[in-house]
Amino acid sequence: MTKRYTLLETLDHLLDSSETEDALEDSEPEDSEPEDSEPPEDNTGLEDYQESDDDCEEGDADQTFTSKNGQVTWSTTPPSQGPGRASAARVTKLTPGPTRYACSRVEDIKSSFLLFFPPSIQSILVEMTNLEGKRVYDADWRDVDWTDIEAFIGLLILAGVYRSNNEALSSLWEAETGRAIFCAVMTLKRFKTLSRVIRFDDRATRPARRETDKLAPIRDLWDLWVERLPLMFNPGSDVTVDECLVPFRGRCSFKQYMPSKPAKYGLKIWAACDARTSYAWNMQVYTGKPRGGQPERNQGMRVVLDLTTGLQGHTVTCDNFFTSYALGQELLRRKLTMVGTVRKNKPELPPALLTTRDRAVFSSLFAFNETHTIVSYCPKRHKNVLLMSTCHKDGKISDREDKKPEVILEYNRCKGGVDNLDK
């Protein structure tokens, strides 16, 4: 009789296989913008400009600027920074790295894997798959248990490691040219059966739930999954908020087209990641406009506030889809700071920072108030990039040849957290 392998044995084989070497390829993070956003205002990819040798420092004289909407006053003089304790928005209370909860429960590969598949998720997978199996196959259905689901997931992972996405399924089970472990785990017919019936909700009640929730087919499992993410890992002082795209070309009412992404089509997910490790700390699926409703206003601000709930003392790095003066104010109330590129059409910006006329290459123009700092940097003639920060309180310039402000270097250092997760 053929021996059946569990998920642990499958993963052990996976780690020992010589074909798993070089499965990950290094690449630079992709710059991207959400598909429903306005065209970027030259605010991303700050390190990629072709630059000249001229440099100039602007804003030496004390000046006062008024924003385009007349509601915010800016000055070229930084706010006074007296001695004292650090701001509460800069004090991180979480110890970065794996949590005590995770460390106390990890013994081997399987225990690490099961941290993200607790009994609550296991019961959904087993119960709903058996329910769908009985509906489709009636009396011919043989109930599955968690071991069957583990074996099925293990084969999916192993097929990915073998890069078999374009390989015929039957070839993996081929006696002579296939992979022996696939036949040992389960038959090809059983694998196809599980692929046909695996479910995450009750199909009978789905139409009613779908009226108010486009994510109804996976909502219960998704919410349980996302709840597990903060339990396992504490992000460092820098957190990146951005969107990522899960490749998908099937039928879905909220499938997105994002030409800046390699996959082009898929499901968009908002994510908050640790900037250093790219660990996904919180996630949201974007399901498009509400049914029969108007497009969401201030979506970028709402997404950042949702994804960073529970954090304190961290710096949030985001691109110009999210960054705004109001977001910086609200994050400060939550004891968080912000660094991000900002669009030139924002009403809180002073017109003096938008012009590039008579600006020298590598020059920087700063504007300050009590909570925010804006910098306008000219990487080349007639081009400038704008960044807004609530954690920088001065106009410090690096000693690099291109004389980039410290705000830009900080942004470049942290902006790729979600892009690395996307890879």
Sequence-ordered list of residues with C-beta below 8 angstroms from that of 390, at least 6 positions apart, any chain: 89, 328, 331, 332, 337, 338, 339, 371, 372, 373
- Assess whether 113 and 222 both reside in one domain: yes
Tell me the backbone φ, ψ of residue 193, rounded to 5 degrees. Answer: -65, -45
- pLDDT of 202 reads 94
Q: Residue 157 corresponds to which tokens in the numbers above?
A: 């992972």
Q: Which of 348, 374, 371 is nearest to 72 (CA)?
A: 348
Question: Does residue 23 sit within a domain?
Answer: no
Residue 390 in any domain: the answer is yes
Contact between residue 217 and residue 211 where contact means Cβ atoms under 8 Å apart: no
Total of domains in the chain = 2
Neighbouring-strand partners of residue 239: 274, 316
Distance CA 328, CA 301 (A): 9
| Number of other CB atoms surrounding residue 71 within 10 Å | 10
Q: What is the DSSP letter of 98?
A: E
The tally of CA atoms less than 13 A away on the side-chain side of residue 247 is 8
Q: Of 261, 175, 170, 246, which Cα lies nearest the Cα of 215?
A: 246
Is 351 within the bounds of a domain? yes
Residue 400 forms part of a structural domain:
yes
| C-beta of residue 323 within 8 angstroms of C-beta of residue 348 | no
Last residue of a domain, one of 212, 234, 256: 234
| Best CA proximity match to 338, nearest among 414, 234, 403, 226 | 414
Q: Say what the pLDDT of residue 178 is.
A: 86
Do 282 and 159 share a domain, yes or no?
no
Cα atoms in the Cβ-side hemisphere of radius 13 Å centred on 57? 10
Q: Which of 234, 252, 282 is the last residue of a domain?
A: 234
Are 184 and 319 in the same domain? no
* Same domain for 390 and 272: yes
Structural domain of 7: 1-14+99-234
**pLDDT, tens digit, for every residue of 200-239?**
999 999 999 998 899 999 999 999 999 999 999 999 999 9
**Do 194 and 275 have their domain in common?**
no
Q: How many CB atoms lie within 10 A of CB 300?
A: 21
Residues 396, 410: Cα–Cα separation, whole Å: 12
Same domain, 282 and 379: yes
What CATH number does residue 327 fall under? 3.90.350
Pair (62, 149) in one structural domain: no
- Helices 219-232 and 119-137 meet at what angle, rounded to 10? 160
- Asked whether residue 244 falls in the same domain as residue 362, the answer is yes
Within a domain: 384: yes
Which pLDDT belongs to residue 68?
A: 86
Domain boundary among 211, 234, 257: 234
pLDDT of 61 reads 58
Q: What's residue 295's pLDDT? A: 79
Query: Which pLDDT does position 17 carry in this prediction?
Result: 45
Task: Determine, yes or no, domain membership for 139.
Answer: yes
CA 173 to chain centre: 36
Extract the residue ranges of the chain whose pLDDT is less than 70.
1-61, 81-86, 88, 291-292
Of 174, 121, 169, 171, the closest CA to residue 149 belongs to 121
Same-domain pairing of 130 and 85: no
DSSP string for 281-342: EEEEE---SPTT-PPPTTHHHHHHHHHTTT--S-EEEE-TTT--HHHHHHHHHTT-EEEEE-
Output the pLDDT for position 181: 92
The C-alpha atoms of residue 277 and residue 97 are separated, in whole angstroms, by 9
| Ranges assigned E (strand) in 48-205 | 64-66, 73-75, 97-98
Q: Which residue has the tokens 């110009």?
A: 320
Please, how many CA atoms are within 13 Å of residue 189, restricted to the half-sphere of its CB?
2
Alpha-carbon distance of 338 to 89, in angstroms, equals 10
pLDDT tens string 235-252: 999 999 999 999 999 999
3 with 152, same domain: the answer is yes
47 within a domain of the structure (yes/no): no
Clarify whether residues 108 and 127 are in a common domain.
Answer: yes
Q: Is 216 a member of any domain?
A: yes
Based on the fold, state whether residues 313 and 376 are members of the same structural domain: yes
